[in-house]
Structure 1
Amino acid sequence: MTIVLDRISKSFGQVEVLKTLSLEVNPGEFLVLLGASGSGKTTALRMIAGLESVSSGRIVIGQRDVTNVLPKNRDVAMVFQSYALYPHKTVFDNIAYPLAVRKRPKAEIESSVRDVARQVQLDQLLDRFPRQLSGGQRQRVALARAIVRRPSAFLMDEPLSNLDAKLRGHMRAELKHMQHELGIATIYVTHDQIEAMTLAHRVAILERGVLQQLDTPANIYNRPANLFVAGFIGSPPMNVLEGSLTQGRFECGSGSFGTASTSSGKAVVAGIRPEDGRLTAEGSGHLAGEIYASELIGDHTLVTCRCGDATVTVKADKDFDGAIGQRVGVGFEPRVVHLFDKATGERIS
């Protein structure tokens, strides 16, 4: 079922936390709202759920305008960061609760709960209480409780943030597989770019209540719409150099190089992803600098160089053993250079 946000805004007094957000979630799509704390992503989710009122605009789910419809009548299921399980109820009863309050037949409840429990690997734990479960198991109970309703849409507010790193990786894979199997439109809120890039069909990046870019993870990474997106996506983030552009040739304090552009501008920012750069001998490459630090990550080494007033990070071979202070060059292909207008932050090329 399609979910449409039509220029929705939200203000608390004089503070506008969400500004004319418009987007459409397609049937079966996994859309991630990504942003830092205070960007408006959770507010947007709560507005879709009906837990926050809409200051302006409208929300449409399927063919219904649900802007002023009560949460219980919107046919959406929400999964919270805090699990929100009933401690006095068993796993079975927690999962069954949405069906029980709708007074579904006992045979239907029994069958539905056991079917969903098998999907999330909880079928052997149905008689336990939440206090007897691990964090990952509790999160799966919360997911199962949402799934058992077979709603029109799933709304998920950072459901994996309380889990340790290893379990988060496992649950990401489980969640993506379950959503694919169910084919239900899902809106997922997170501040974690790895979750966004690995889970989403499309990502909507918010900053201070404004939509910065809406696109596939690959397009957001390879063609960020502005400097904010370029710096927010990627770990380590994109290297940025301030300089000028003359018919496609970029010049800065530590060197000059050609780009894929033919434009000119006096105040331009060039961006290079760490994996697109390479270390070269002193006097070669496009930028001159010296090694500031190196960090062995495992399968590669992150080498940070001081190039004039800028810091440039390059992914080098895992066997790299350059010394701090060593003079080096940094090279790259013209096609990998991203160009942005310094004044507006918007992408040039």
Structure 2
Amino acid sequence: MTVKLDKVAKNFGAVKVLHELDLDVKEGEFLVLLGASGSGKSTALRMIAGLETTSSGTITIGSRDVTNVLPKNRDVAMVFQSYALYPHKTVAENIGYPLKVRGTPREDIATQVKDVAGQVELLPYLDRFPRQLSGGQRQRVALARAMVRRPKVFLMDEPLSNLDAKLRGHMRAELKHMQQELGITTIYVTHDQIEAMTLAHRVALLEGGRLQQLDTPANIYNDPANLFVARFIGSPPMNVIHGSLDRSTFKTAGVEVATPVSGNLSKVVLGVRPEDCAIVSPDAADLKASIYTIELIGDHTLVTVNLGSDMLTIKASKDFAGKSNDVVGVALSRDRLFVFDDATGSRVR
């Protein structure tokens, strides 16, 4: 089922938390709304669910305008961060509760609960209570309760944020597999860029209530629309060096670097990702800098260097042998350089 937001805005009094958001979610798509706290992503999700009213704009599910339709009549299922399970009900009763409310016959409820529980590997736990389950198991109960309704759209509000790092990785794989198997349109809210990049068919990155970029994870990473997107996506984030642009040459602190763009701006930011930098001999380098810190990650080493008022992080070999204050050369991949207007953050193309 498709979901469309057409110039949807939300105000809380004089505060505008969402600015005319346009989204067109395709049938069967896994779309992630990504952003920091206060970016408007959860507000957008709650408006799709009907838990918040819109200040302006329209929301369409399929061919039906649901802007003013009650949540119970939108045929969407929402999974919350807090699980929201009934502590006095068993796993089976929690999963089957939406069917009970609908008046589904008891025999049919039992059949459907077992079917869904099997999909999320909960069959051995149907007679247990939530307090007897791990965090990951409780999250699967919440997912199963949403799945049993067979909704037109899944809405998920940071469902993995209460789990530890190892379990989050496991649940990401389960969620992605489940969504692919069911083929149900899913809109997922998170502040975690790793969740967004690994789960989504497309990512909608929000900041300050405005859509910054809507694209595939690969395109957002490799072709950021502006400086905010470039710095938000990526771990470690994109390096930035402040300077000026003279035609196609970036200049800073006596250093000149050829770029793939052209313009004349007195204040720009040169962006380059850590994996697009390399430590080389100072004589063969684009830049010279002194080592600030060295961090062995496992399969690679992160080397942070000082370049005037800017810091650069470089992904080096796990066998890199250097020490603090060593002067090294840094080579930049010319075709992977980005230039941004320092005043507006917009990309120079």
- TM-score normalised according to structure 2 size: 0.98
Cα RMSD between the aligned structures? Answer: 0.9
Checking the alignment, whether the CA contact within 8 Å between 1:254 and 1:289 is kept in structure 2 is: no
**Residue in 1 aligned with 2:166?**
166
Q: Tell me, what secondary structure is at the counterpart of 2:324?
A: coil
Report the residue type matching 1:170 in the other structure: H
Displacement after TM superposition at 1:332 (Å): 1.6
Tell me the distance in 2 between the aligned counterparts of 1:299 and 1:204: 31
CA distance in 2: counterparts of 1:320 and 1:59, whole angstroms? 53
1:341 aligns with 2:344: no
User: What is residue 183 of structure 1 aligned with on the other side?
Assistant: 183
The offset of 1:108, in angstroms, is 1.6
* Offset at residue 248 of structure 1 (A): 1.2
How many angstroms apart in 2 are the aligned matches of 1:58 and 1:167?
37
- Secondary structure at the residue paired with 1:248? strand
Instruction: Write out aligned runs for 1:36-47 (5 A).
Output: 36-47=36-47
Distance 1:309 1:135 in 2: 44
Q: CA deviation at 1:252?
A: 1.0
SS of residue paired to 2:319: coil
Aligned to 1:235: 235
Matched with 1:122 is 122
Question: Distance between the aligned counterparts of 2:11 and 2:178, measured in 1?
Answer: 35
Query: 2: distance between equivalents of 1:167 and 1:245?
Result: 46
1:4 alignment partner in structure 2: 4
- Matching residue of 1:73: 73
Deviation at 1:160, TM superposition (A): 0.3
The number of residue pairs the alignment matches comes to 349
* 2-structure distance, mates of 1:46, 1:309: 42
SS of corresponding position for 2:283: coil
Unaligned stretches of 5+ residues in structure 2? none
Secondary structure of the 1:247 match is strand
SS of equivalent residue, structure 1 residue 47: helix
Name the SS of the counterpart of 1:81 in structure 2: coil
Alignment partners' CA distance in 1, 2:40 and 2:266 = 34
The residue number in structure 1 matching 2:31 is 31
* Amino acid aligned to 1:164: D
Map of 2:113 onto structure 1:
113
Q: 2:295 maps to which residue?
A: 295
1:264-318 per-position Cα deviation (integer Å, ceiling 9, x unaligned): 3322211000011001122331111100000011111100000122101000111
Alignment-mate amino acid for residue 135 of structure 1: G
What is the letter of the counterpart of residue 159 of structure 2?
P
Q: 1:92 corresponds to which letter in structure 2?
A: A
Uncovered stretches (5+) of structure 1, i.e. residues with no partner: none
SS in 2 for 1:313: strand
Q: How does 1:10-25 map to 2 (within 5 A)?
A: 10-25=10-25
The Cα of 1:233 is off from its aligned counterpart by 0.4
Give the Cα–Cα distance (whole angstroms) in 1 for the partners of residues 84 and 62 of structure 2. Answer: 28
| Residues 74-116 of structure 1 deviation map (CA, whole Å, 9 limit, x = unaligned) | 0000000000000000000000001110011222211111010
* 1:220 paired to 2:201: no
CA distance in 1 between counterparts of 2:265 and 2:162 reads 46
Query: Following TM superposition, by how much is the alpha carbon of 1:262 offset from its aligned partner in structure 2, in angstroms?
Result: 3.3
Distance 1:248 1:103 in 2: 69
TM-superposed CA distance for 1:339, in Å, is: 1.1
Counterpart AA for 2:288:
A
- In the aligned structure 1, how far is the partner of 2:340 from the partner of 2:107? 61
Q: CA deviation at 1:254?
A: 5.8
Asked if the contact 1:254/1:308 (under 8 Å) is kept, the reply is no
Does residue 205 in structure 1 map to residue 205 in structure 2?
A: yes
| Partner of residue 307, structure 2 | 307
CA distance in 1, matches of 2:232, 2:184: 28
Q: Distance in 2 between matches of 1:255 and 1:266?
A: 15
Instruction: Report the AA paired with residue 160 of structure 2.
Output: L
Q: 2-side partners of 1:52 and 1:187: how far apart? A: 16
Residues 255, 288 of structure 1: 8 Å contact kept = no
- Tell me the SS of whatever aligns to 1:85: coil
Once residues 235 and 254 of structure 1 are traced to their aligned partners in structure 2, the CA distance between those partners, rounded to angstroms, is 29
> Which deviates more, 104-113 or 72-81?
104-113
Name the CA distance, whole Å, in 2 between partners of 1:254 and 1:157: 49
- Matched residue type, 1:317: S
- Secondary structure at the residue paired with 2:137? helix
After alignment, is 253-262 or 124-133 more displaced?
Answer: 253-262
How many Å separate the matches in 2 of 1:80 and 1:309? 43
Residue 323 of structure 1 is matched in structure 2 by: 323
Question: How many percent identity over aligned positions?
Answer: 67
TM-score (norm 1): 0.98
The CA distance in 2 between the partners of 1:300 and 1:255, in whole Å, is: 28
